[in-house]
């Protein structure tokens, strides 16, 4: 097992290189580069001369040009970036004037909590949903659930999101929910439980919006794998030897269907880190998605590159974790 993990970790290196180079090329291929926004916000008007100078410094720092101002080839740029990254120097955002790592540290927990809660809700609905629809195949409840989940999946989140925000978090109509942010203003003098409650109250609408479209796919997959397992020989054997229907279901069918579920979960794990640009944009949540979006628009090269690096590493690690879980859940799966 240890050998396997080490080998997998080593195999990650070429993948990472290829991935980062691809993104690097796309990012650098795009024209334009932002220069320090910090000076403008400080209220100092810059002369054209100073702007040009700053641009030149920035280009040199990002290894776009060499010391004499000659442009560097793309591959060389990549090697220089790789070198400084391997030495532990992650970039500094041009727009925020802060290290990228600090930005990620601020935003990753926000996105991760919201996505984790949303995923838990999706699974809590979809697993019973898939089970019930599979056992009532073709009946009204099966068709009704299928229709409803597909209908929800078809509802564009920009509509639902902005509508609930416009009507349920609006003093003119129903002022039930906060319209933006994740905390009330007076968090300092709250007890711990009060704080958690306040947080949950703030994320109700974002969670609802990120959850409602997810039922259709997962329920359908679970339903499919349960139906498939129900037709297997071992189920007939278990029935024949006199086990009750519930025991067959929980001990045999459901357990085997879980294997399928692990693969599905593994494939969706990287999505947890990314964050939904749309939902974070609608509800003004400062998460990973919004950071990536704003820095792409602002052409904040260091942030885009390092963000891509961090997300790629975390993605590959989560794939590895899934494979290990797979082994734990099904002892038949071995790794050489």
- The closest alpha carbon to 109, from 288, 303, 281, 314, belongs to 288
Q: Which is nearer to another protein, 37 or 199 (CB)?
A: 37
- DSSP characters for 217-251? HHHHHHHHHHHHHHTSHHHHHHHHTT--HHHIIII
Q: Which is nearer to another protein, 15 or 232 (CB)?
A: 15
Which residues 6+ apart lie within 8 Å of 172 measured at CB?
A: none
- To another protein, the closest distance from the beta carbon of 164 in angstroms equals 10
Q: Which is nearer to another protein, 37 or 46 (CB)?
A: 37
The label of the residue with tokens 């054997």 reads 237
Q: Which is nearer to another protein, 158 or 197 (CB)?
A: 158
Torsion angle of C-alpha atoms 233, 239, 241, 245, degrees rounded to 10: 140
How far apart, in whole angstroms, are the C-alpha atoms of residue 1 and residue 7?
10
SS3 label, residue 185 = coil
- To another protein, the closest distance from the beta carbon of 66 in angstroms equals 23
Give me the residues that bind another protein (CB under 8 A), please.
14-15, 18-19, 22-23, 26-27, 29-31, 143, 146-147, 150-151, 153-159, 162-163, 165-167, 170-172, 216, 220, 224, 227-228, 267, 270-271, 273-278, 281, 289, 292-293, 296-297, 299, 304, 308, 311-312, 314-316, 319
- To another protein, the closest distance from the beta carbon of 174 in angstroms equals 12
Q: Which is nearer to another protein, 281 or 286 (CB)?
A: 281
How far apart, in whole angstroms, are the C-alpha atoms of residue 213 and residue 39?
43
- To another protein, the closest distance from the beta carbon of 197 in angstroms equals 27
First to last CA, the chain: 8
Q: Which is nearer to another protein, 163 or 187 (CB)?
A: 163
- To another protein, the closest distance from the beta carbon of 106 in angstroms equals 18
- To another protein, the closest distance from the beta carbon of 190 in angstroms equals 29
């Amino acid at each position: 097992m240890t050998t396997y993990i080490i080998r997998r970790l080593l195999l990650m290196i070429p993948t990472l290189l290829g991935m980062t180079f691809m993104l690097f090329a796309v990012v650098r291929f795009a024209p334009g580069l932002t220069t320090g926004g910090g000076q403008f916000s400080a209220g100092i008007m810059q002369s054209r001369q100073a702007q040009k100078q700053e641009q030149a410094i920035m280009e040199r720092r990002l290894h776009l040009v060499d010391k004499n101002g000659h442009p560097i080839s793309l591959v060389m740029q990549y090697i220089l970036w790789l070198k400084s990254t391997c030495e532990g120097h992650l970039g500094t955002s041009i727009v925020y004037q802060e290290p990228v790592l600090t930005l990620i540290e601020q935003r990753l927990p926000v996105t991760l909590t919201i996505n984790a809660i949303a995923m838990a809700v999706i699974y809590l609905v979809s697993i019973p949903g898939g089970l019930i629809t599979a056992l009532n195949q073709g009946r009204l409840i099966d068709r009704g659930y299928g229709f409803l989940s597909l209908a929800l999946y078809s509802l564009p989140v920009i509509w639902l999101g902005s509508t609930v925000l416009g009507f349920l978090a609006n003093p003119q109509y129903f002022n039930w929910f906060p319209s933006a942010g994740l905390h009330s203003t007076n968090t300092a003098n709250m007890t711990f439980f009060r704080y958690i409650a306040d947080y949950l109250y703030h994320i109700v609408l974002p969670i609802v919006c990120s959850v409602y479209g997810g039922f259709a796919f997962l329920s359908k997959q679970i339903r499919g794998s349960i139906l498939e397992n129900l037709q297997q020989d071992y189920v007939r054997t278990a029935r024949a030897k006199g086990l009750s229907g519930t025991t067959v279901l929980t001990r045999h069918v459901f357990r085997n269907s879980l294997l399928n579920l692990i693969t599905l979960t593994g494939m969706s794990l990287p999505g947890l880190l990314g964050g939904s640009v749309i939902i974070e944009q609608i509800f003004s949540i400062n998460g990973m998605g919004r950071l990536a979006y704003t820095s792409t628009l602002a052409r904040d090269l260091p942030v885009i590159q390092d963000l891509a690096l961090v997300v790629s590493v975390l993605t590959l690690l989560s794939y590895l974790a899934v494979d290990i879980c797979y082994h734990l859940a099904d002892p038949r799966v071995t790794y050489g």
